[in-house]
């Protein structure tokens, strides 16, 4: 307190501007002189006495109490409703137990409903909301529209992340399966090569590994399967043959040979041979020439 002045004009490093601060400064000086100041406290205050003034509280209640009808107040004072079978609480209620406290609130609300509904019905007041009743919303339609759009956007983002996660898991699973297949093929190839080496060195007399290889392959094993595979139509090969031909030499492909020159299978005498002396068949509706058409036109004039 080296900044405190004894004349009361400077307090905590600044000039005083009111009489209340000066009075406070004098009070602190007196408390310090009497030894009532302790570390951590400016001054030790005397303990306040607690008084239960029931008469005063009732007087204050009458001052702001309004004698209104019950329909305007809707207040109820009653005991909690009986507990359901199996939900009875043994001993005194513990206010620090959350479950017990919430259950007591629930039973109190039940008792209020059981008493309040009959009183409202006796006053001819409806207690059930009509089905076509539309309550006024606290928020505007534009605000709710923005909220709905935000929720939809959030849901779409969640769905998008879920879809990406599933695709990532599928890719991981596909890679895992592919690696397992490659490892299996490498293992089979290694076993077959080792069997071949042992057979060449004379360490193995049987060639069962070749039979296993034939079983794993997709080649036909009997005559019927070979015939079915041979007679099967290859659509891809058929389309290429139709588009590009069957291969081989393309030059001089249209030249006549002895066999092609002597082939008369495509010759039709009715079309390609005309008998001599037979007059030509006249067309039924043959159009006249231009000179005849002009003469006919001049005659009509």
The three-state (H, E, C) secondary structure of 27-78, written as one string: HHHHHHHHCCCCCCCCCCCCCCCCCCCHHHHHHHHHHHCCCCCHHHHCCCCC
Q: For residue 195, count other CB atoms closer than 10 A to its CB.
A: 19
pLDDT for 241 equals: 80
CB-CB contact of 71 with 77 (8 Å) = no
pLDDT band at 212 (very low <50, low <70, confident <90, very high): low
pLDDT for 278 equals: 55
pLDDT digits (tens, 9 = 90+) for 30-87: 887 887 776 655 556 667 777 889 999 999 988 888 788 888 888 899 998 888 777 6
pLDDT for 199 equals: 76
Q: Give the residue with greater pLDDT, 86 vs 173.
A: 173
Handedness of CA 212, 213, 217, 219 (dihedral sign): negative
Contacts of 173 (CB under 8 A, 6+ apart): none
CA dist 283 and 264 (Å) reads 31
CB-CB contact of 31 with 43 (8 Å) = yes
What is the mean predicted confidence (pLDDT) over 237-243? 82
CA dist 79 and 77 (Å) reads 7
Is residue 184 packed enough to be buried (19+ CB in 10 Å), middle (13-18) or exposed (0-12)? exposed
pLDDT for 281 equals: 56
What is the mean predicted confidence (pLDDT) over 208-213? 59
pLDDT band at 114 (very low <50, low <70, confident <90, very high): very high
Helix axes 141-201, 208-216, angle to 10 degrees: 150
Residue 117 clears pLDDT 90, i.e. is over it: yes
* Cα angle 296-299-300, degrees, rounded to a multiple of 5: 90
pLDDT band at 220 (very low <50, low <70, confident <90, very high): low
Q: Give the distance between the most distant pair of CA atoms in the chain.
A: 166
Q: Give the residue with greater pLDDT, 284 vs 103.
A: 103
């Amino acid at each position: 307190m080296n900044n405190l002045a004894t004349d009361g004009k400077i307090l905590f490093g600044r000039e005083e501007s009111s009489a209340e601060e000066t009075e406070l400064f004098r009070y602190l000086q007196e408390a310090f002189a009497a030894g009532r100041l302790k570390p951590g406290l400016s001054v030790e205050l005397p303990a306040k006495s607690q008084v239960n003034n029931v008469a005063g509280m009732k007087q204050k209640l009458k001052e702001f109490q309004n004698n209104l009808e019950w329909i305007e107040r809707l207040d109820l004072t009653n005991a909690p409703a009986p507990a359901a079978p199996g939900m009875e609480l043994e001993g005194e209620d513990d206010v620090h137990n959350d479950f017990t406290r919430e259950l007591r609130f629930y039973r109190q609300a039940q008792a209020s409903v059981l008493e309040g509904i009959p009183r409202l019905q006796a006053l001819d007041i409806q207690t059930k909301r009509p089905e076509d009743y539309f309550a006024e919303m606290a928020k505007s339609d534009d605000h709710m529209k923005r909220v709905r759009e935000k929720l939809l956007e959030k849901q779409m983002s969640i769905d998008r992340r879920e879809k990406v996660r599933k695709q990532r898991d599928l890719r991981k699973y596909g890679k895992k399966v592919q690696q397992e297949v490659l490892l299996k093929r490498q293992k089979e190839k290694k076993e077959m090569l080792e069997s071949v080496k042992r057979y060449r060195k004379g360490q193995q007399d049987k060639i069962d590994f070749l039979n296993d290889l034939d079983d794993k392959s997709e080649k036909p094993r009997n005559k019927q399967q070979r015939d079915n595979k041979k007679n099967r139509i290859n659509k891809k090969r058929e389309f290429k043959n139709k588009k590009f031909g069957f291969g081989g030499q393309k030059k001089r492909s249209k030249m006549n040979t002895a066999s092609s020159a002597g082939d008369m299978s495509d010759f039709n005498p009715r079309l390609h041979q005309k008998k001599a002396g037979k007059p030509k068949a006249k067309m039924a509706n043959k159009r006249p020439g231009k000179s005849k058409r002009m003469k006919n036109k001049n005659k009509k004039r």
